[in-house]
Structure 1
């Protein structure tokens, strides 16, 4: 009874922390502007199943995709055993499903143990890639400090949790063999059965202590992990699903125009009288300076970022030594959200803290380096669109501050007057073709 009450207290404590954190993330995303996304539901479900659940875009790089798949499948299936542990904690039972499933239960747990070993293997491989072979995309400037520690820490935690569950099963089987009360006979599990000699020399009390300690460590570790991931890049474990569901379905190269600007252009070209255009909203701002100027989808994408660096490794600007890193754009957006959200939680100034996403987090040099090629969008395994944020912030610089680089202003002027980026009359545009005919 005492153990049950303790379990309920632990469950309630972590449940409260998780609920509060989810509410904070929801409020932070809500800082963004509204953006209705409710079209083509069938296509959206298909995209989510293929990209988030099916890991479709991960397999562009086979080696990391294979080991990521091991962790992904292991994470999902092993949690079935966690469900049993939770029910045991609430009901005061031990291996609740074993009497009902019989030998199938033994085979099922053995399968989970094989997955646990594969998860350990995958985590070791990833630790090796990050810290020994030092894959370049994991060691960019934005990955210094906490991002690198976070990536390593989560891998170590997963290894420890898997070892804990194997140790629990091994000592559990030894206690069954010694006729311990309440320890249901399950038969020998495949992996933990081979670990029994490690604990065979221990007395009854020692075995009971290790089994119970491993049981509590595993379940508390799972609960703590659930809280931890909400502060970590591993929030993508959950956010990838809604993010891919609300993916942009239009062609990647299509830029979103502002209706107000489009109407003005049409009036200038005589294509519209302006009578059908509504009045611009009061206080309308062109582009984005801070997170409240971005859409909620942009902000949700920042929380969905896996920090894998595939976008940055494909970015031509970054590959040529420019400061732009699409991954950093998403990380900076998330950091700004967290800072504003924490300030509001403490009754602070929030968005009125004298800072903004532009300049204080993301520099103009980074924004100007972007070629708008969409390589980052194509590379992202969970359909994040860093380019949309870059374009909105560049739009603010150009249209609100009139601070676009001089070379850009010359190009804009040429487009306006000559309908092309080059400084020659439209009538001269095909002279080169005439010259080719003469030859």
Structure 2
């Protein structure tokens, strides 16, 4: 009998209203919509409640948060125990080291006998939404919490960028029951970017300033990402994807597509990690070895990758440098590339190229474009884009013929965004200038 409302089902199942809507959408709960209101078959709700997986997530996140001691987990592996100071966002008493090899890279001492509390606190600070994210201060007030570093505890610290999570010491929570790679998460149809923050959602651990939101789509995890005032960044992601398709092979880049969501342009990309993998930003890779004063930042990073057994890293970096140059990417900072590690085998590989939205002079005001030369500051190795390009010793993979017509394609694509009026001609000339230089150097 269809006589149970979504709110009643939420109470009976012990999940959020958004989660109930998601279960209905997936067909797991029979329901029908009358006068705009969803009514659910009560017997199906009771049956689902009776067979709810145990153990599961704590029904009271605040009670979980008050636990005195926690275990940092990496998938099914216990890594270390710790206490966390909610008033400062800092770790203390990270004392019991269980599996140093699976700890976050760079937080362990060389012999793996102790964890740096400072390094753990820094790592955790980049595991949550930055305060610069639009709307986060208001969201914190709504949730009644003091700071963003407390947000990850709302979802056990779980992420879709790695396999780390936290649980109360001696609890019986299991990875299989709680992880977001295999279990659906709260997802409402509301357009607010921060709608799921504070609920059972990977959005609690989404880093970066641009608005982001994870969704479940046909069994896949998809990241939606917005833009700034002109909404150029989502278009840039799709343009970079077109370039990557022309020059690289599948698996070497993350494919982005342009969508409209909540009356805005967004980019959408699938999660490129499996349920046994983690992304390790280059920032942490750099901490693997002490830097030789004679080595530049490029050589030091390569040496650190070699120390981890990554042999093809210079080929991957060469592709990143050339592709970033061709779209004038000005924001390839040390957290926007890195390695992927399998947490079971502890084997590494270069991460595919991702996050190319801050490119094509999108941060230059339209009125200033005509006075801006076709140059740009680069990251991460040299500010001078031409100097960074010279780091590429082997470009045998580069088929310059594939660059023909790319500038025209990009400009035509940008023209779909009415905010680009007065910008696309400059972008076309800029890309063509960069293409001509690459062809002259490597063609």
**Range of TM-score over shorter length:** under 0.3
- Select the structure of larger CA radius of gyration: 1
TM-score by length of structure 1 reads 0.26
Q: Which has the higher helix share?
A: 1
TM-score by length of structure 2 reads 0.26
Q: Which has the higher strand share?
A: 2
User: Whose relative contact order is higher, 1 or 2, with alpha carbons under 8 Å and at least 6 apart?
Assistant: 1
